[in-house]
Chains A and B, each alone.
Chain A
Amino acid sequence: MLVFAVYPLASSFLYSLYSWNGLARGGFAGLGNFKQVLLQEPFSSWTYRAFTHNVVVFLSLMVVQNGLAFLIGFALLKGMPGHRFHQVAVFLPVVLSTVIVGFLWKLFLNPIFGAVNQALIAIGLAGWAQPWLGQPQTALASLIAVNTWHWVGFPALVFLAGMQRIPREVLEAARLDGAGDLALMRRVIWPLVAPSATIAFVLLFIGSFNWFELPYIMAGLDGSPGGATDVLGLYFYRTAFGAVSSGLQDFGRGSALAVLMFLFIAAVASIWVRMLRRREIEI
């Protein structure tokens, strides 16, 4: 672990301070790489574009994926018919590789005969059929939807586990006081599953800002179409190891990006964990 995890992480910081010529370390560059990535065109606008996309991805997944997960968790808690089966089914996509999921949905989203457009035509919404991954307005949203299908089972189980820890008497007391499903969810369950929410939120945050595999498989290394799906993970990989189109690789700028991403993730995650922990109530 020391050799293969700690040392490389520490070296990242060091490497970001040098200029690089391919694999060979050049002269000391101070904060030059950081300046390039943050302030110098065209790199800076790529950085901000990718960062904005990461923020969008994170916020939408927060609403769609975690929101859905909470509802699924609640449905499983209530023990609807066949909930054992559903519990297993909801989680099945989580064990599949992102490569498999990405390719599968790429085939489904194919504009000519992909299952998604075919389904829209079949239910009379032919006007909605479109090249989902081919146009800038829909590409990122499609990736977010696929990500939700793939991962929603994980936060759903985390929420379910949290809900199962709430004592039965608490739920029954609320019921006796005349709380419906909605009130029960908002007033009783939601505050009491705060520890689960902390985990689900923070993992989603780290995942969203490390997002790489799904956009790489489904949209390619350039974040096509027109950079609409470019995220920090892709931009970082492209900078460090070179794109298909340009063979350039720049370890200095790549390391600077990695360091910035790492600092951002670590800082926000730790502050946020502290804030979230504070609102957790002991049962």
Chain B
Amino acid sequence: MLYPVLIMVFSAFKSNAEIYAAPFAPPTGLNLDNLARVLGETHFQQYLVNSVLTTGASIALILVLGTMAAYGLARYEFRGNGAIFMFFLAGLMVPLKLAIIPLFIELKAMGLIDTRLGLVAIYTAMGLPSAVFILTGFLKALPGELEQSARIDGAGEARIMLQIMLPLARPAMVIAAIHNAVPIWNDFFFPLVFVQSDRLKTLPQGLTVFMGEYNTDWGVLFAGLMLAALPITLLYILLSRQFIAGLTSGALK
């Protein structure tokens, strides 16, 4: 499984001639030309910044809104509770890609085409169902005595939520964040449709521009691919345990 990734890393440090001659061999020296060219000649950094901003803002919104919604649904009983939960659940089943035409017209009318805000709005809407689903399940399982004793001690509802419940829910929030961060970071489809100007492109979409420009310079292409894959790979290796646990537990409920 890892071999193709390894070849990508090898090739990033080789010249074109070396790749032609021995595509599988490790690089002979630490040739940094390719990396320097990717960083120096293309808008790579700009794409990276855009990806970080878009993904970061979306995840922050998903967590804030998702936690509030899940907290309300899990800890309070009110009319329509079940209906609202079902409404969020329904969002899990629907492939939003198929609604792209009305979405396009709607964003156009709101003036959100070709803005970061437009993407963030879509990603937040897309991520909320799963976040609410994960967090509600977790918050429901927390014991009610905690809440009652806090209430007896005179804590207000907001204080109970922020100081008692949320710290306990942190593992679930991490899982919800990871679960959404990867697809949003990697998304290609929505930026393809909604972003036209080069300075707003996210990394996956920016790559296609960059790959088109350098379509004969194999070393530079591989270097670009490696750099683009680097952030998410590092993050994955660092968090792999939580990541895998989160995905398997989420997948089976």
Contacts and interface: CB of A to CB of B under 8 A. Distances in A.
B23 A99 contact: no
Interface string A142-170: 00000001000110011011100100000
Contact of A107 (B24, B100, B221, B251): B221
Interface stretch (A34-42, A52-60, A87-95, A180-188): A87-95
B91 interface: yes
A216 B192 CA distance: 11
A261 interface: yes
Contact of A96 (B124, B186, B237, B252): B186
B221 A262 contact: no
Contacts of A15: 101-102, 105
A3 B1 contact: no
B168 interface: no
Interface in A48-106: 87-93, 95-100, 103-105
B102 A8 contact: yes
A7 interface: yes
B232 interface: yes
Interface string B133-145: 0000000000000
Nearest to A232: B98
B1 A12 contact: no
Nearest to B224: A103
Main secondary structure of the interface of A (DSSP, over half): helix
Contacts of A105: 4
B160 interface: no
Contacts of B91: 1, 5-6
Interface string B194-233: 0000000001110110010000001001100100110011
Contacts of A165: 252
Interface residues of B, number: 63
Interface in A206-261: 206, 210, 212-213, 216-217, 233, 236, 240-241, 251, 254-255, 258-259, 261
A281 interface: no
B78 interface: no
Interface in B101-133: 101-103, 105-106, 108, 121-122, 124-126, 128-129
B23 A118 contact: yes
Nearest to A91: B244
Main secondary structure of the interface of B (DSSP, over half): helix
B249 A161 contact: yes
A5 B225 contact: no
A12 B102 contact: yes
A267 interface: no
Interface string B1-33: 110110110000000000110011000000000
Contacts of A259: 98
A162 B237 contact: no
Contact of B98 (A153, A162, A216, A261): A261
A107 B229 contact: no
B252 A99 contact: no
A195 interface: yes
Interface string B70-89: 00000000000000000010
B27 to A, nearest CB: 15
A100 B228 contact: yes
A11 B96 CA distance: 12
Interface of A: 1, 3-9, 11-12, 15, 23, 87-93, 95-100, 103-105, 107-108, 113-115, 118-119, 122, 149, 153-154, 157-158, 160-162, 165, 195-196, 199, 206, 210, 212-213, 216-217, 233, 236, 240-241, 251, 254-255, 258-259, 261-262, 265-266, 269
6 contacts: A7-B102, A11-B106, A98-B204, A99-B207, A108-B7, A206-B95
Given A5-B126, A12-B99, A161-B248, 5 more contacts: A98-B204, A108-B7, A153-B1, A158-B248, A217-B208
